[in-house]
Amino acid sequence: MMLAMDLPPPESRQLRRLVADRLRSDILEGRLPPGKWLRQEQIAQEMGVSQMPVREALRELAAEGLVVHEPYRGARINSVSPADAIDLYASRAAIEGLAARAAAHSITPEELAQLKQLTARMKRKLSPKHIVEYRELNRRFHTIIFTASRRPFLIRLLQQLWSTFPSMLLDSFGKTARAPIPGRETDDIEEHQAIIDALQKGDAEAAGRAMQAHLEETLRHLAALLDDEAPGAAPEAPGAAPEAPGAAPEAPGAAPQAPKTLPAALPGTRSRRRTQQL
| pLDDT confidence band for 235 (50 / 70 / 90) | very low
**Span 10-78+233-278: which CATH code?**
1.10.10.10
53-62, 71-80, 237-246, range with greatest mean pLDDT? 53-62
With a cut of 70, say whether residue 268 has pLDDT above it: no
Q: What is the pLDDT of residue 128?
A: 80
Q: What span, in angstroms and rounded, lies between the C-alpha atoms of 23 and 164?
A: 13
* For range 131-148, the mean pLDDT: 92
Fold of 82-226: Four Helix Bundle (Hemerythrin (Met), subunit A) (1.20.120)
Round to whole Å and give the CA distance between 158 and 40: 30
Q: Which tops the pLDDT comparison, 207 or 13?
A: 207
Q: What is the pLDDT of residue 181?
A: 72
pLDDT exceeds cutoff 80 at 55: yes
| Residue 208 Cα distances to 95, 156, 184, 204, 217, angstroms | 10, 18, 20, 6, 14
Among 42, 71, 75, 81, which Cα is nearest to 56's?
75
With a CB cutoff of 8 Å and minimum separation 6, the contacts of 7 are: 13
Quickly state the pLDDT bin for 173 (edges 50, 70, 90): low
Instruction: Please list the residue range(s) of the chain that carry CATH number 1.10.10.10.
Output: 10-78+233-278
